[in-house]
Chains A and B, each alone.
Chain A
Amino acid sequence: MDKGMSILVVDDFPTMRRIVRSLLKELGFTNVEEAEDGQEALSKLKGGGFEFVVSDWNMPNLDGLEMLKRIRADDGMKAMPVLMVTAEAKKENIVAAAQAGANGYIVKPFTAATLEEKLNKIFEKLGK
């Protein structure tokens, strides 16, 4: 896997964005950008250059699930891997995310080891 890949971290809480960014850095991924909701994320993604998205679910303006659906519906970026990192912990949430095409689902609070494991699993499946 290419540790220089460009990753977009989407969360409305700055603390969580910092935590995810630091964990990614700890794992060797240094090329990380942030967005504070789905809308900002989509416009950044449309600008191009990103290879991976780590997103929260519950956000103002455009939530993570809706963002995921729009990514999958867009020919330009429908193949973009999306890892959901969210406090939403109902079974229907996990099912809905999987059906919408999420590549992974991490429930908060989570550990550094969980993030690493899920990233590796996604890259493995994508053959990177």
Chain B
Amino acid sequence: MSGEARQAAAQDGAHSDDLVMRIGQLTRMLRESMRELGLDKEVEKAAEAIPDARARLNYVASMTEQAADRALNAVDRAQPLQNEIEARAESLDQQWQTWFENPMELNQARQLVNDTRGYLAAVPEMTRETSKELLEIMMAQDFQDLTGQVIKKMMEVILQVENQLLQVLLESVPDGEERDAMKRRMANADSRKGEGAGLVNGPQITAEGEDIVSNQDQVDSLLDELGF
């Protein structure tokens, strides 16, 4: 490295040291003024909502995946049955067609009658199976209600975060048109806020926790315990 280059690098170093120090000072100033105004609590509240939102989105993702799997698996099971019903009917029809065109062999006809009766006996069994799969596909759609409730909750959380962040912004914006617009937006967000939860919480996104039942058996035994 030449002398000149070394000098430039040293100057750069001094510049960046200076810059880091200034950013540090600004950060400290910002943090102190936020604490003075109580805004750090608002940001904290907003940040706290994020893990909950993530857990809810996770629940929605896994519920929709499960529902898609259930429906597709049911289709996979029903399709071969449908194909069999179709193929066997076509084959029998073809054989009858041939026999009527040339009704010679009595043995052949007898065999055909037996095959046809066997087929007719088998059809209801197969259609019952496909009906079962159709019911399964229908039941898989219950995810729409469960995820819908969770998404509604998420929208409330997002509204709160919006509100808290607006509060922080509001304090850092000087009086004027911009500040008025923000105030209006906050008032609007406030009026859209949902009522307190209490007994209305929607689906449990995790099955953990003392006060949570995770399946119908637990509901039933709790009711038994209580004598209902």
A residues with CB within 8 A of B: 11, 13, 15-16, 18-19, 22-23, 26, 57-58, 63, 65, 87-96, 98, 105-112, 114
Contacts and interface: CB of A to CB of B under 8 A. Distances in A.
Nearest to B213: A89
Contacts of B199: 57, 65, 88, 90, 92-93, 96
B228 A112 contact: no
B211 A92 contact: yes
Given A19-B138, A109-B146, A94 B213 contact: yes
Contacts of B139: 19, 23, 111-112
Contacts of A23: 135, 139
Interface of B: 135, 138-139, 141-146, 148-149, 199-204, 211-216, 219, 222-223, 226, 228
10 contacts: A15-B145, A16-B142, A19-B142, A22-B135, A88-B200, A91-B211, A106-B216, A107-B215, A107-B216, A109-B143
B142 A89 contact: no
Contact of A108 (B135, B203, B212): B203
Given A87-B146, A94-B222, A15 B212 contact: no
B145 A87 contact: yes
Contacts of B142: 15-16, 19, 108-110
A90 B144 CA distance: 21
Contact of A95 (B138, B146, B226): B226
B145 A94 contact: no
B139 to A, nearest CB: 7
Given A91-B222, A107-B219, A15 B203 contact: no
Nearest to A111: B139
A112 B137 CA distance: 12
A15 B222 CA distance: 29
Contacts of A114: 216
A63 B197 CA distance: 12
Contacts of B202: 58, 87-88
Contact of B201 (A22, A90, A94, A110): A90
A98 B223 contact: yes
Contact of A105 (B149, B200, B219): B219
B138 A22 contact: yes
